[in-house]
Amino acid sequence: MEIKITFPGGKRVNAEIDGMTIPTDQSVKSGGDGSAPEPFKYFLASIGTCAGIYVLSFCQKNNIPTEGLTLTQRLEYALDSGGKTYLSKIGIDINVPSSFPEKYHEAIIRVADQCAVKKAILSPPEFAVRTVVSD
């Protein structure tokens, strides 16, 4: 799989994948127009939305209505020994309505834990960055 990264102007950087364009921009504070989320925000959102698709699929498979069902992702930051802030914890609450079958409470947690983005973070890939000269 390849993802093409392009630079449409300003502080915008787009990712083109499978015929779709994912726009990014920097905040006004960081010199951008704030016209799209910053790349790191997409990364963070990918964790919650990935868990969400697993939860949604579980509910659809078990004919459980999803009305009133939401996920809340919480981010916790800490300081490293050099005083720099880093993301230290990501918490996801699966908010279920009172009508959600209690027998599925633990199962839906296990399902959300199958998130492919989370698994990629826990077993990180090797990065190889290089310069390729083209005409």
pLDDT of 33-63, one tens digit each? 999 999 999 999 999 999 999 999 999 999 9
Residue 135 has pLDDT above 90, yes or no: no
Domain boundary assignment for the chain: 37-122
Mean pLDDT, all residues of the chain = 97
Q: What is the pTM of this model?
A: 0.89
Under DSSP, is residue 72 helix (H, G, I), strand (E, B) or coil?
strand
Q: How far apart are CA 6 and CA 24, in angstroms?
A: 10
pLDDT tens for 84-97 read 999 999 999 999 99
pLDDT reading at 68 higher than 90:
yes
Would you say 109 and 94 are in contact if contact means Cβ atoms under 8 Å apart?
yes
Q: Classify domain 37-122 at the CATH topology level.
A: GMP Synthetase; Chain A, domain 3 (3.30.300)
